Structure 1
Amino acid sequence: MFYIIAIILIIFDQLTKYLAVKFLLGKNPIPIIKNYLQLNYVENFGAAFGILQNKQLFFVVITIVVLAGIIVYIRKHTNISKPMKAALTILFSGALGNLIDRLRLGYVIDFIDVKFGKLYDFPVFNVADCLVVVSTIIIAYLVLYDKYEINMEE
């Protein structure tokens, strides 16, 4: 099930990036909710929030290590809770989605542009970024509240 869900999420991420290139590249942003949400094509040569620009090899190596770690962890530990397996699958999918961009293009395609009126212009992101952030929050919760393993004593 891990692989099926991962493949579906990766395809969805890559499809949205393909559509971003097709409909947004070289064009003005498309407003969805005026002053709050728009679709805007951006080529990100760094990480989240534009940090570590042009460090592609670093990101490729780190991502491969993380992906391998997730696979080894899931295969080695048979008592992982279903929510933890789901969160690790989502994390794997998001990380691999952006890795595909880095290897194929040398940058990550971002297109979701959120603003908080005139107060704050959030960095542009993509579906894979959403997957990584949401899964990380879930994993942190599961670890903090000791819900990442099935209790075998029950």
Structure 2
Amino acid sequence: MFKYYLIAILVIILDQLTKWRIVETMDVGEEITIWDPYLSLYSHRNGGAAWGMLQGQMWLFAIITIVVIIGIIYYFHKEGKGKPLFQASLMMLLGGAIGNFIDRVLQGEVVDFVSVLIPVINYNFPIFNIADAALTLGVITLIIYILFFEGKEQKKVK
């Protein structure tokens, strides 16, 4: 089971290193275009939750994050054995949650830096970071597991 914790550790390390690099090399509001106009690095700070909701509610985020981390670890050990996709999804969620939690505790805000324009609908997606991407990928992987694998595992047991 420990090998799955490496996923969370890798997410945390990549997240914190990229955020550190952005903070050290870019001013807030500075943008570096990678693929004009679709992808850029944009130094941004978020004192709230997803899409900037609940700005300045640090105590709420701390409580929620701690509860979420405990829940993830609990389910990982209680329900995860023999379910690699489920375990991997939980560890992506754990790494993402801890990555943004570190920012909130140490800086009072989250460092975001990936700016994406979705050309088909001309939509500027909210600026995000590695932890956010891991959270999203973890949720998608968990949904795939629930829809396509969980029921089959339960049928095999019966």
Aligned residue type for 2:129: N
1:153 matched to 2:157: yes
1:124 matched to 2:101: no
Aligned residue type for 1:129: D
**3-state SS, counterpart of residue 88 of structure 2:** helix
Deviation at 1:78, TM superposition (A): 5.2
Q: 1:123 to 1:61 in 2, by over 3 A?
A: same
Take 2:67 and 2:143, find their aligned partners in 1: how far apart are those partners? 19
Quick one: percent identity of the two aligned structures? 38
**3-state SS, counterpart of residue 41 of structure 1:** strand
TM-score of the two chains, using structure 2 as the length reference: 0.88
2:83 aligns with 81
Q: Is the CA contact (8 Å cut-off) linking 1:13 and 1:128 kept in structure 2?
A: yes
**What CA deviation, in whole Å up to 9, does each residue of 1:20-47 have, x standing for no partner?**
1112224630000111111011110011
Equivalent positions of 1:4-23 (< 5 A) are 4-23=6-25
TM-score of the two chains, using structure 1 as the length reference: 0.90
**What CA deviation, in whole Å up to 9, does each residue of 1:77-101 have, x standing for no partner?**
3545101000101110001000000
Equivalent positions of 1:1-154 (< 5 A) are 1-26=3-28, 28-77=30-79, 79-116=81-118, 119-147=122-150, 150=153, 153=157
Give the total of aligned pairs.
154
Q: Compute the RMSD of aligned alpha carbons.
A: 2.1
User: Which structure 1 segments of 5+ residues have no match?
Assistant: none
Deviation at 1:149, TM superposition (A): 8.2
**Higher share in helix:** 2
